[in-house]
């Protein structure tokens, strides 16, 4: 039977393989998010991040920083290798060259494409991935990242036509169009090793016994994405000046790590994501650091948290990082029998 499967995989199934030779759904690689705590949340490792051949969704209410996060993810991807490129589909006309330059993005390796409708995005995204696959001789390493910012802002051809004709009929096609678009993109992304990052806004549904938070555009992203993070924020201040946002990220859906876990990371408006933010809490939870009063006991020293964050490389030694990594592997992976430390009780918006 095994010999038949190998024969069928080549002659009939074409792109199919026997499972011990690998599956199209296997994780081909990882994209560093730029934050250790965020890496832990989405991949159960400090050193991994977003999967390189899957769809990842970033959702949250208006003003939470989804676009900042998407830009930072694009920057991290470009910084990882000189041959990496990004195609950034912008449905909100929000991205400017100045915005990208201010955040340190290499503007010679990112293409910002305006899209208005689901059909337009679907066609351009599929064509881009196929053209990339034809152009590249080796697809083993991800060299292209596709970003859609934002999914919920996309219209449809029907909605556009209704507006032009003055019709006030409700567009019932959008949800199905989104599902269809991502049915096509999910497998293509996996086959060609192209990561896709989506942003989407959420809204509160008041009906029913308990209020719930729903994704805009229906369930298209819910079914397509391997990981969906819900983002919330609070202000980070330097005196009275707001210098950034403390982002609370919660796994609403994850096939790679435990769901409903929450971490914090810092998005500085000038320097981007703080790689080390939240690592003191991780170190304490893992036993690498011991808190004594208002300071942390590290070896024979007692140090304030602020001093640690001012010089993280000194205190987060290889031994400390190894201990934290082992804790992260247990606490954020499926199959852990221990209770995961919830660093934040809930994801909330600024009041």
Do residues 172 and 233 both lie within one domain? yes
Q: Report the distance separating Cα 65 and Cα 58, nearest Å.
A: 10
- Report if residue 164 sits inside a domain: yes
**Range with lowest mean pLDDT among 116-130, 161-175, 230-244, 261-275:** 161-175
Domain boundary among 274, 300, 329: 274
Distance of CA 148 to the CA centre of its chain: 12
Residue-by-residue DSSP string for 68-114 = HHHHHHHHHHHHH-TT-EEEEEESSS---HHHHHHTT--GGGEEEEE
Q: Which domain holds residue 245?
A: 24-274
pLDDT tens digits, one per residue of 3-18: 766 666 566 555 566 5
Kindly state the tokens that stand for 142.
């991800």
Pick the more confident residue, 152 or 314: 314
Q: Report the distance separating Cα 286 and Cα 288, nearest Å.
A: 6
- Report if residue 17 sits inside a domain: no
- Pair 304, 229: CB distance under 8 Å: no
pLDDT tens digits, one per residue of 164-191: 777 777 767 778 888 888 888 988 998 8
- Residues 316-328 as b or e (16 or more Cβ within 10 Å = b): beeebbebbbebb
Do residues 170 and 82 both lie within one domain? yes
pLDDT tens digits, one per residue of 136-171: 988 888 899 999 998 888 888 887 777 777 777 776
Domain boundary among 254, 274, 294: 274
- Report if residue 103 sits inside a domain: yes
- Pair 229, 57: CB distance under 8 Å: yes
Kindly state the tokens that stand for 23.
């599956």
Rank 21-30, 49-58, 333-342 by mean pLDDT and report only the highest.
49-58
């Amino acid at each position: 039977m095994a010999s038949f499967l190998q024969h069928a995989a080549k002659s009939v199934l074409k792109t199919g393989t026997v499972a011990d030779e690998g599956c199209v759904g296997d994780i081909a690689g990882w994209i560093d998010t730029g934050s250790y705590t965020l890496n832990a949340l989405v991949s159960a490792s400090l050193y991994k991040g977003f999967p390189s051949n899957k769809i990842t969704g970033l959702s949250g209410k208006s003003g939470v920083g989804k676009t900042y996060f998407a830009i930072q993810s694009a920057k991290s991807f470009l910084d990882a290798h000189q041959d990496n490129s990004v195609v950034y589909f912008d449905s909100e006309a929000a991205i400017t060259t100045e915005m990208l330059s201010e955040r340190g993005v290499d503007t010679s390796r990112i293409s910002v494409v305006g899209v208005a409708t689901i059909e337009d995005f679907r066609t351009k995204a599929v064509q881009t991935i196929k053209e990339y696959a034809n152009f590249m001789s080796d697809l083993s390493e991800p060299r292209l990242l596709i970003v859609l910012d934002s999914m919920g802002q996309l219209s449809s051809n029907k909605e556009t036509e209704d507006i032009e004709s003055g019709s006030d009929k409700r567009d019932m096609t959008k949800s199905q169009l989104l599902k269809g678009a991502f049915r096509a993109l999910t497998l293509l992304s996996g086959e060609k090793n192209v990561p896709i990052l989506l942003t989407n806004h959420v809204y509160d549904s008041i009906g029913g016994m308990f209020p719930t938070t729903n994704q805009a555009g229906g369930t298209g992203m819910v079914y397509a994405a391997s990981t969906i993070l819900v983002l919330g924020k609070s202000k980070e201040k330097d005196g009275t000046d707001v210098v950034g946002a403390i982002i609370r990220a919660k796994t609403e859906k994850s096939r790679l790590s435990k769901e409903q876990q929450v971490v914090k990371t810092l998005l500085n408006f000038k320097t981007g994501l703080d790689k080390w933010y939240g690592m003191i809490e991780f170190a304490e939870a893992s036993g690498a650091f011991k808190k004594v009063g208002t300071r942390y006991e590290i070896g024979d020293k007692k140090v304030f948290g602020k001093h640690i964050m001012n010089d993280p490389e000194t205190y987060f030694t290889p031994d400390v990082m190894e201990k934290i990594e082992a804790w992260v592997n247990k606490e954020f992976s499926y199959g852990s029998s221990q209770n995961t430390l919830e660093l934040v009780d809930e994801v909330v918006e600024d009041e």
